[in-house]
């Protein structure tokens, strides 16, 4: 059972990464490394989705 739990956890983590849910965590880690002041989570996600939809990001 523990094995299956680990598998589901991995799948959930993967989906979180692929969907961009953890992008803000990565951004915070980068800001901490570089010493810059991070923007808020709300501003971050707004700017990310704005940027995503200014260029072709979905194929036919």
Partner 1 sequence: MRTAFGVRELAPAFSTADLSAVDSPRRVAASKSGDESPHSEICHHAPFSRSMPAALMLYFPRVFGATSPIRANLMNLLKKLVWVLVALVGALSLGIIASARGEHLNAVWLVVAAGCIYMLGYRFYSRFLAFRVVQLDDRRATPAERLEDGRDFVVTNKWVVFGQHFAAIAGPGPLVGPILAAQFGYLPGTLWILIGGVLGGAVQDFVTLFCSVRRDGKSLGQMAKEEISSAAGFTSFFAVLCILVILLAAVALVVVNALKSSPWGLFTVSMTIPIAVLMGIYIRYLRPGRVLETSIIGFLLVFVSVLGGRYIADSPTVAPLFTYAGPALALMVIFYGFAASVLPVWLLLAPRGYISTFVKLGVIFLLAVGILAAHPQMLLPPFTRFVDGTGPIFAGKIFPFCFITIACGAVSGFHSLISSGTTPKLLSQEGHARLVGYGCMLMESFVAIMAMVAAAVLEPGTYFAVNSPAGIVGTRPADAVATISGWGFPVTTAQMADLAARVGELTLFNRTGGAPSLAVGMAQIFSHVLGGHDVMAIWYHFAIMFEALFILTLLDAGTRVGRFMLQEVFGYFWKPLGRTGWYPSIILSSALIVAAWGYFLYQGVTDPLGGINSLWPLFGISNQLLATVALCVCTTILIKMDKWRYTWVTFVPLGWLAAVTMTASYQKIFAENPRIGFLSHARALAAQVGSGAIPASQAAATSRLIFNDRLDAAVTGIFAVLVVVILAESARHWWLYATRRKRPVLRESVVTVSRFVPSEASELL
Q: Which residues bind partner 1 (CB under 8 A)?
A: 10, 12-27, 29-31, 41-42, 44-60
How far apart are alpha carbons 2 and 11 in whole angstroms? 14
SS3 16: helix
State in angstroms the smallest separation of the CB of 9 from partner 1.
Answer: 8
State in angstroms the smallest separation of the CB of 19 from partner 1.
Answer: 4
| Ordered DSSP codes for 26-43 | HHHHHHHHHTPPPPPHHH
Pick the closer one to partner 1 by CB: 2 or 54: 54
State in angstroms the smallest separation of the CB of 18 from partner 1.
Answer: 4
SS3 56: coil
């Amino acid at each position: 059972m523990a094995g299956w739990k680990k598998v589901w956890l991995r799948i959930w983590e993967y989906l979180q990464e692929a969907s961009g849910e953890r992008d803000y965590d990565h951004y915070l880690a980068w800001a901490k490394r570089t010493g810059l002041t991070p923007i808020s989570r709300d501003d971050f996600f707004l700017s990310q989705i704005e940027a995503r939809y200014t260029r072709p990001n979905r194929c036919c």
